[in-house]
Each structure stands twice: as C-alpha cells, then as structure tokens.
Structure 1
Amino acid sequence: MARKDHYYNKAKQEGYRSRAAYKLKQLDDLENVISGGDTVVDLGAAPGGWLEVAAEKVGPRGQVIGVDLQRIKDLEEPSVNDRIETLRGDMTEERTRERVTDAAGGTVDVVVSDMAPNMTGEYSLDQARSLHLARQAFETALELLDSGGNFVAKVFDGPDVDEFRAEVEEEFQYVRATTPKASRKESSELFLIAKGRLTAPVSEGDELEVEIVDVGNEGDGIASVDGFRLFVPSTEEGDVVEVRVEDVKPNFGFAERIDDE
C-alpha cells in the first residue's frame, strides 16, 4: 500500500479528521513541542487534524486556538471541543492576527502552522508562496509566544529556506528541520521545529557594564539586566564589572568578565 493510503486509513480507523494529524504527532514525539496545560495556536487548522492532536496534548487545563480561511466544524467529543476556539480568517491580514492575539488573551506557549498555498502546479511559485506563509506564521509566533515557547511551521523546500531558518534561529534557543514519516513520499514539505523562544534583552557577544546584585547557589554573581538574570563567575555582590555575554537561555544567561583580561 502507498504511504498515502496507510495514513489515510489510519486516520479513519482512529477517528482523526485528516492524515495530517500524524504529522503533528510525529513532530511532537520527536521534540516534545506541546505539554499539558499549554495554550496552543494552530494556524491553517482546517479540517482540524492538528487541532485534535493539540487538544489531546494540552489536556483539560490547556487551550487551543485554531485559525483558517475555511470554517472548522466542532469536534464530536464535547470534553475535547471545550478546549478549542476557532477563528475564520486570513493570516496574511493584520486584522486576523489581531483577532488571534485577542483570543489568546496574552502570550501563548506554542504556535504551530500547517498552512499551505493554493497550488498552481508551478513549483517555484508554490514554494515562494509557502515561504511567505511560513514567514507570516513566524511573525505571529514572535508576537504571541511567551519566553521559552515553541514554534512549528511547514515550508516547501527550496530557495531562501536556509535564510528563513537562520532568521528563526536568531529568535529561538534550538531549531531543527525535519520531514515526518506521515508526509507524502512525493512531497517537498519541510517542517521547522523551533524551541525555547528567546526574549532576553541581551544577545551572545554583547559587551556591557553590570552590577552584581546577588550570588547564586554555585557561587556565581548574578546581575539583572531589565529583569533578566545574568550569571557572572568570579564576582561578588556589589561589584560593578564589564562583561561579555557568552550564552543566552530563555530565562537566564551566562557572561564572563572582560575588565580583568
């Protein structure tokens, strides 16, 4: 049997709306994108395969917001459907992105996008449109994601994908490109999985003067830069030192003194 038939039949047997559900399942199995209690925004959500999987993953304490140009029918299981809100709109339009922001009521934990363009059959055009949609999803993710949040987006492989990935890598702690087994064999689709949204006010390589305001359990001094904790070895509380940022995590970073080099 062709791979298409396998996942189509599997979706029918297990009650999912589309074979695409297994793409998100496999991506999540690979990188643990969605956790219990998360708020997830699903872009390009119709007919609802990814919504079903996301709602299962977030559990009763979580929330899933689905967006698509097409109407998304309610799920049959009320307990799962209660976790889902759907919006009809075009993610390339600012007003739709504003509606998503309002529905989220603040920052979210995960943004996923399976958006794809209407296919013309001309690959270069379809690939360019796919990349445009992925960038729209990325911009939405930057607006919505909390520090440490995760992002998944589909794009057709081709020109400028490496450049796009580099842009994503600037905003996240870790980025991986992969194609799940549930993708059709003939498809050129590629998924970027980005983990650990970086919202720090500093970047690797920055040089700045900081004051050590506390000392951590390991003995390193702690500076605060706009509320962001920066660990600095060989310093004591009250020191004012010049440092170079060496590593940045979602909620804290590490720096080395350069005033005594």
Structure 2
Amino acid sequence: MGSQWSNDKAYRQAKKSGYRSRAALKLQEILRKNPVIRQDDNILDLGAAPGSWLQVLREMTDGVLVGVDINPINPIPGVTTLTGDFSDPVVIARIRELMPEVNGIVCDASPKLSGTRSYDQARAIDLNQQALRVARTLLKRGGNLIMKSFQGEDFSWLYNQVKKDFYSVRTYKAQTTRKGSTEMYIIAKNFIGYEPDPEENLSDGSA
C-alpha cells in the first residue's frame, strides 16, 4: 500500500500523524464541519477496519467505542473490536452487551470496487441500507449518524430514507476525497426513533 499511495499527500500526512489510513483525515474534517460527537458519547463504528476512524474517535470521546468489521482490526487502546458482519443478529447482540447505549454510529464501509460505477454504487447502497437498519435497531433517540455513500441512481432514495428517521440530514463531500470520486457522506442528526412502515421495503432501492 505504501508504494501505491506514496505520492498521496493525505496518505503521507495520516501516516506521519500515526493514523492507519488517510480516512482519518476525512473524519477529522467531517467533524470540524459537523460537530456531532460529544465528549461522553458511546460510538459504534461499522466497517471499521483498519481502524483509523476509531483512532480519531478515541481522541474525541471518553465514552465506549466499539468497531465492527468482517476483517480483524489490530488492537487500539481503549477500543473494543468485533470481527463479523455488522448486520448479523449475533453481532448485534454482542454490541448490545458491550454498549449500554449508542449515542452515535459512524460507517465508512464500502464494497470492493469493480470499476463499473452503477454496479459499485448499487452494492454501496446495499451496505448503507444494512447500516441504517443497525442504526434503527441500536441508536438512542437523539443520537447521530455519519455514513459514507456514493452518488448515483439510488442516492436520493437512500437520503430520503434517512430523512424519515432524523430531524436534520445533510450531505458532505470531504476535501480529501479523490478527484473524480462520487463519494458522499450523509450527516444525520437527532434520531427520532423508528416505527416500521408496513408499505416500506428497505431492501429495494427502486421503491
């Protein structure tokens, strides 16, 4: 990875600061512009590997931090990590045991990109739907959500789904996003609580 990104200024800056990836700088920027994490918040990080967002979060809150990823995450002092699918009920149950309440959820997860934009965006939206389900299940009323997505055909649908559950929702494109990327963050504040709509089908972005 070092040879691939050695000419990337953000990557070099992140490594110099002791972070595991350039994504740490994105989260720092997002939180400067959108201060949604309080000093005592318990935060759940979905798709957390390699752990750079957890490193930033540990600097910002004294609350409980839990990171989940299908890939193992090297230990971070003061952070609990789980290896597994964050949509798995067994993983959800374990999170409940570890966290008395969840004040915030962050998700920087993205699928392995194929290079076919429409296909990659559809897979990213599917991950977003899974993350939103977790938020609806675990997030405390009044809690906040930061979630990475990608602009495309189904992005507006996803955005409107999030708006149903939070009082304030906006999008944010990080300055460190690579040129040409459709990457976009959804910043959702003040979770209302979720009541299932019998006519809603969250698994179908075309609905």
TM superposition score normalised by structure 1: 0.69
Residue type of the partner of 2:171? Answer: A
Which has the larger displacement, 109-118 or 180-189? 180-189
Contact 1:150 1:195 in 2 (8 A): yes
Residue type of the partner of 2:52? Answer: G
Higher strand share: 1
Contact 1:178 1:190 in 2 (8 A): yes
Q: Deviations over 1:61-119 (max 9, x none)?
A: x11100001110013xxxxx12x1000001243332332233223x2100000011122
Contact 2:87 2:134 in 1 (8 A): no
Per the alignment, residue 85 of structure 2 pairs with: 90
2:39 matches 1:36:
yes
SS at match of 1:116: coil
2:61 matches 1:67:
no
Residue number among 86, 96, 105 corresponding to 1:101 in the alignment? 96
Residue number among 125, 136, 161 corresponding to 2:130 in the alignment? 136
Instruction: Return the index of the structure with the highest Cα Rg.
Output: 1
Shift of 1:193: 0.3
2:165 matches 1:183:
no
Distance 1:143 1:48 in 2: 23
Identity over aligned pairs, percent: 37
Contact 1:92 1:133 in 2 (8 A): no
- Within 5 Å, give how 1:143-222 maps onto structure 2: 143-199=137-193
Distance 1:193 1:162 in 2: 14
Residue type of the partner of 2:123? Answer: R
Name the count of aligned residue pairs. Answer: 191
- Within 5 Å, give how 1:39-50 maps onto structure 2: 39-50=42-53
TM superposition score normalised by structure 2: 0.87
Residue type of the partner of 2:90? Answer: R
Q: Is there any run of 5+ residues in structure 2 with no aligned partner, and where? A: 196-207
Q: Which of structure 1's runs of 4+ aligned residues deviate more than 4 A?
A: none
- Greater relative CO, 1 or 2 (CA 8 Å, sep 6+): 2
CA-based RMSD of the aligned residues comes to 1.9
Shift of 1:200: 8.8
Shift of 1:27: 1.0
Distance 1:5 1:89 in 2: 31
Higher helix share: 2
Distance 1:200 1:114 in 2: 22
Shift of 1:31: 1.2
Contact 1:179 1:189 in 2 (8 A): yes
SS at match of 1:163: helix
Shift of 1:35: 1.1
Residue number among 27, 30, 33 corresponding to 1:27 in the alignment? 30
Per the alignment, residue 248 of structure 1 pairs with: none
Residue type of the partner of 1:16? Answer: Y
Q: Deviations over 1:126-159 (max 9, x none)?
A: 1101001011111111111111100011111101
SS at match of 2:8: helix
